Amino acid sequence: MIRVAIADDQTLVRSGFASLLDDVDDVVVVGEAADGEAAVRIAQQVRPDVFLMDIRMPGVDGLEATRRIVADPACREVRVVVLTTFELDEYVFAALRAGASGFLTKDVDADDLRQAIRLVAAGHALLSPSVTRTVVDAFAAAVPEPKRRERLDLLTEREVEVLRLVARAMTNAEIAERLVLTEATVKSHVSAILRKLGLRDRVQAVVAAYDAGLVRPHTS
C-alpha cells in the first residue's frame, strides 16, 4: 500500500483529496494536517510515502514544513508533492529548492492524482518533460549568478553530460538516443549523479544543474 498524508489549512480541500483516494486499492490516507507544524509531526511519526503539501498555511507554512521534512534523516523516504493553485506559482520554485519531488495543481483530476502518487512513491520526480521545461526556465531566470560549480568535480565527464540533458527535461530514452547509450546505462548514470551530489531525485538534479551554471534558460 502507498501511504499518503495531506496538509492543507482548508478542511474541504483535505477532505476532497482524501475522497479522491478512498476507492484506490493501493493507496491509503494515513494522516491529515491543517498547518506545517502538524505536517512535520505527522511525517516524523507516520512516515508516509507521499505527502501532499499545501504551501500557504498559517504558522509554519508548507515551504518550511517541506524543508524540515526533507532535512530529517528519519523522513528520508518521505516524498513531498506541493499543492498549488497555479502551475508557475512563485512558491513552487522555492519548494523544489527545499526538496519537493514535484507539484500538482489543486484542480488535478482523480486519475492524474492517483497516477502522480504512484509515480512519486516509485521514486520518480513529478514533473512532465513539457512542464519541467517551463518550470526550470522560470526557476533559472530567478537564480543569481551560478554557484557551487565545484560540486560538478565529483562527476565524470559523461555524468556531467547526462546531468546537462536531465536539466533540459529530457527523458532517459531521449538521453540514450542523444548519447547513443542504452536506457539502462543512462539510468545508472542518473543514479550515480544523485548519489554523488546527495540529491533525492531528478527535480533536485535540475536545480543543482542550474545552480552550478551547467545550463541556463533557453539554451539548447
Listed by start position, the domains of the chain span 2-126, 139-211
Per-residue pLDDT averaged across 115-138, rounded? 70
Task: Look at residue 10 and tell me whether its pLDDT is greater than 60.
Answer: yes
Question: If you average pLDDT over every residue of the chain, what do you get?
Answer: 85
Least reliable range by pLDDT among 91-95, 166-170, 215-219: 215-219
Higher pLDDT, 64 or 108: 64
DSSP-based three-state secondary structure for 217: coil
Q: What mean pLDDT comes out for the span 10-29?
A: 92
| pLDDT bracket for residue 219 (50, 70, 90) | very low
Neighbours of 189 (CB within 10 A): 25
- Say if residue 215's pLDDT is above 80: no
pLDDT for residue 106: 86
User: What is the structure's pLDDT at 131?
Assistant: 54
With a pLDDT cut of 90, the percent of the chain lying above it is 49
Q: Which of 110-114, 140-144, 211-215 has the highest mean pLDDT?
A: 110-114
Question: What is the architecture, at CATH level 2, of domain 2-126?
Answer: 3-Layer(aba) Sandwich (3.40)
Torsion of CA 20, 112, 97, 31, to 10 degrees: 20
Residues paired with 81 in a beta bridge: 52, 102
Please write down the HEC assignment for all residues of the chain. Answer: CEEEEEECCCHHHHHHHHHHHCCCCCEEEEEEECCHHHHHHHHHHHCCCEEEEECCCCCCCHHHHHHHHHHCHHHCCCEEEEEECCCCCHHHHHHHHHCCCEEEECCCCHHHHHHHHHHHHCCCCECCHHHHHHHHHHHHHCCCCCCCHHHHHHCCHHHHHHHHHHHCCCCHHHHHHHHCCCHHHHHHHHHHHHHHHCCCCHHHHHHHHHHCCCCCCCCC
**pTM score > 0.85 for this model?**
no
Predicted local confidence at residue 87, as pLDDT: 59
Q: Which of 18-22, 62-66, 148-152, 185-189 has the lowest mean pLDDT?
A: 148-152
CATH, range 139-211: 1.10.10.10
